[in-house]
Amino acid sequence: MVFHLFDNRILTTPKCGTRYLRQKWEDTEITFKKIEIDGFSNIEYLIIREPVEHLMSAVHTEFYNYKDFYHRNILYFSNYLDKLILKKEIEHWSYNMYEIMYWMFIKSNKKIKIIHLSSLTDFMKEQGHIIQYNESEYNWHWKQKWVSKYDFFNKLLEEFPTQMKILLKYSDEQTIIYNKLINNTIETQSLI
């Protein structure tokens, strides 16, 4: 899974404020798994969003050029979803990213602060940085064939129920861990 490190202390994933944070800092891409997280004691903040919302946004971004269901290539979508299920990861999403962040949180003994994506502007203000959030910079409504991530995701659910059910199961499993992060709960037994 690729994470982005900003200011050597703020860690986030794609679809979780990276473009916004790049207005202030350059980022370093980091790829690691749970067993490799020991060398990141400098992490002070994790930026997160709800797992299903994250999946929706990631799939929406991945299929950016293929949103026109009226001229769709069903086989393309189906094959892509099959690969995603097998690989369990795409550029903007991974089935275990919350698990990785949770292990970081545990290893920090709850010293890492969890910031929800919706609070990112307030967080930056608290850090002394005023970055105006302009919603139009983060949507593509001007595109001729624009489809919202919600409409697109619902269409995928309708057209590919079996594959989407599997992806939603991954998100449901990660929601358990997401809730532990949001609630600052440490349980070192089993994550799921």
For residues 133-140, give the mean pLDDT: 63
What confidence tens digit (pLDDT) does each residue in 152-177 have?
899 889 999 999 999 999 999 999 99
Are 42 and 8 within 8 A, CB to CB?
A: yes
User: 178: pLDDT confidence band, cut at 50, 70 and 90?
Assistant: very high
Instruction: Confirm whether 191 is domain-assigned.
Output: no
| Sign of the CA dihedral running 132, 49, 90, 65 | negative
Instruction: Confirm whether 132 is domain-assigned.
Output: yes
Instruction: Confirm whether 187 is domain-assigned.
Output: no
Residue 106 structural domain: 2-182
Token digits of residue 99: 């698990």
What confidence tens digit (pLDDT) does each residue in 78-114 have?
888 998 898 888 778 888 889 888 988 888 888 999 9
Instruction: Confirm whether 125 is domain-assigned.
Output: yes
E-assigned strand segments in 40-165: 45-48, 89-90, 93-94, 113-116
Instruction: Confirm whether 138 is domain-assigned.
Output: yes
Q: What's the domain count of the chain?
A: 1
Instruction: Confirm whether 96 is domain-assigned.
Output: yes
pTM: 0.84
Ramachandran bin of 184, using left for φ above 0, alpha for ψ from -120 to 50, beta for the remaining angles = left
